[in-house]
Amino acid sequence: MADPTAAANRVYEKQLIDRAQGGDRDALRELVDQHKDRLFAFVWRMVRQHHDAEEICQDAFLKAFASLDTFLSEYRFSTWLFTIAYRVCLNHLRRKRAITSDLDFASLPSGGEQTSEAAFESEEAGRVRQLIWSAVDRLSAPQRASILLFYRHELTCHEIARVLELPLATVKSHLHRARNRLREMLESVTEQDLRDYCNLTGSAG
């Protein structure tokens, strides 16, 4: 049975988008407010720099609003927005790799970025968090995005395929290979730890 709340939300979202397409600034602001936190959390985990993540999110919103007329209402706005943001993330990572020649995905956030979260985490949770951050950062960009979208944002494989613009089988392969790599790198950390970790870090920075 369909969730009436979800159905009502989809109807309201479509109304918002219709208004935004007509140039309603209040509708545009509401769309930003609805999606900015989840989008920033995803982008920050991809690029691991607060300032870069803010710029990418802003760019993604601008690109989305500039092409609202191409939005297909059968999809969720968030899925479409994440698709745009993921493209911007990839371009950013490629530029950064070209500049540095050796992009280090194993770096951890600075202490200032972790202070508010660390205050609420036990020593053991912090240890697991550090291990998983380091391991997730070593995944390829598509694998990392697949893991984050699946566990943290609870997207289905079909939705992830739309976001990453990849065949469904490729997404499943990315998830399978990413899990295997994580298991190899984290012999003492279980998949439940990964889920707990994603829930612990609901807000970045």
pLDDT at site 110: 38
Which two tokens mark 43? 């982008």
Q: At CB < 8 A and 24+ separation, what contacts does 63-69 make?
A: 63/88, 65/20, 65/28, 68/17, 68/20, 68/21, 69/21
140 and 159 in a single domain? The answer is: yes
Say how many domains are in the chain: 2
Q: Can you list the alpha helix ranges (DSSP code H) found in 73-164?
A: 77-100, 111-118, 123-137, 141-147, 157-164
For residue 83, give the CATH number of its domain: 1.10.1740.10
Q: At CB < 8 A and 24+ separation, what contacts does 78-82 make?
A: 78/35, 78/38, 78/39, 79/155, 79/159, 79/162, 79/163, 80/162, 81/35, 81/39, 82/39, 82/42, 82/149, 82/153, 82/163
98 and 109 in a single domain? The answer is: no
For residue 120, give the CATH number of its domain: 1.10.10.10
* End-to-end Cα spacing for the chain: 38
Domain that holds residue 112: 105-205
78 and 118 in a single domain? The answer is: no
Below-50 pLDDT ranges, the chain = 100-120, 200-205
**pTM beyond 0.75, yes or no:** no
pLDDT at site 172: 95
pLDDT at site 19: 93
Tell me: the pLDDT tens digits for 7-46? 788 889 999 999 999 999 999 999 999 999 999 999 999 9
122 and 140 in a single domain? The answer is: yes
pLDDT at site 105: 37
34 and 121 in a single domain? The answer is: no
Given 47, 77, 103, which residue is the final one in a domain?
103
pLDDT at site 36: 95
pLDDT at site 86: 95
79 and 97 in a single domain? The answer is: yes
